[in-house]
Structure 1
Amino acid sequence: MTFGLLVLHLGGFVMPALAMALFMPWAGRWVLGTNARPMRRRMLVHAVSGLLVLVAGLWLHDQDGKMSTYIALVLVAATLEWVMQRGWTSK
């Protein structure tokens, strides 16, 4: 495997976590309203947790791209956004 292919594979592996990290704070703001927590901090939390979910899915299934891993990624991101937005106190 060449270096370029390795970069493409790693980029494809982390792209779902980074996409969720980019869009979840905006979706949380749209659904739950504004929050005092900074947007960049929430994006960083989503990126790190998403990467951990993808690595755990790779470790558990011995391959990446399983739907159960992506479902776990969405559930973890939504739950984290709800917690960071303090969704239980929303109107």
Structure 2
Amino acid sequence: MNPFIALNHLLNFVAPAFVIAVVMVGCGQLFFRQRAKLIGWIKPVAINFIVGCAVLLAGLWYFGNDGKWLSYMALSVAIATTQWVLLRGWWA
């Protein structure tokens, strides 16, 4: 496997984590306007992306291959929970 193919596999593995991180931060900006202004975009996207990659790696380790629906469900729940904690959603 050459480096370009390896990079392609890596980017395809982490792409769902990045997309869901951006969508969750966008939803946070939409629904929690005042608190979301305080933390901006870059920090929450980075934190959500790191959490998402960790969840995908845990799913890869547990199932032995990637692309399982349970991994994607856990990814969505983990990133949503992280976004809720970042925006202090329990105060809403």
State the TM-score, normalizing by the size of structure 1: 0.90
1:32 maps to what in 2?
A: 32
Q: Report SS of the residue matched to 1:34.
A: helix
CA distance in 2, matches of 1:78, 1:67: 16
Kindly tell me the number of residue pairs found equivalent between the two proteins.
90
2:6 maps to what in 1?
A: 6
Measured after TM superposition, the shift of residue 33 of structure 1 is 2.7
CA distance in 2, matches of 1:75, 1:46: 11
What does 1:41-80 align with in structure 2 at a 5 Å threshold?
41-80=43-82
Measured after TM superposition, the shift of residue 6 of structure 1 is 1.3
CA distance in 2, matches of 1:21, 1:34: 19
Indicate the percent of aligned positions where both proteins have the same amino acid. 33
Superposed CA RMSD in Å reads 1.2
Q: Report SS of the residue matched to 2:39.
A: coil
CA distance in 2, matches of 1:32, 1:42: 13
Q: 1:60-86 deviations in whole A, cap 9, x for unaligned?
A: 000000000000000001111111111
- Compare the two structures and name the one with the higher helix fraction: 2
The amino acid that maps onto 1:56 is: A
After TM superposition, which residue ranges in structure 1, 4 or more long, deviate above 6 angstroms?
none
State the TM-score, normalizing by the size of structure 2: 0.89
Q: Which runs of 5+ in 2 are unaligned?
A: none
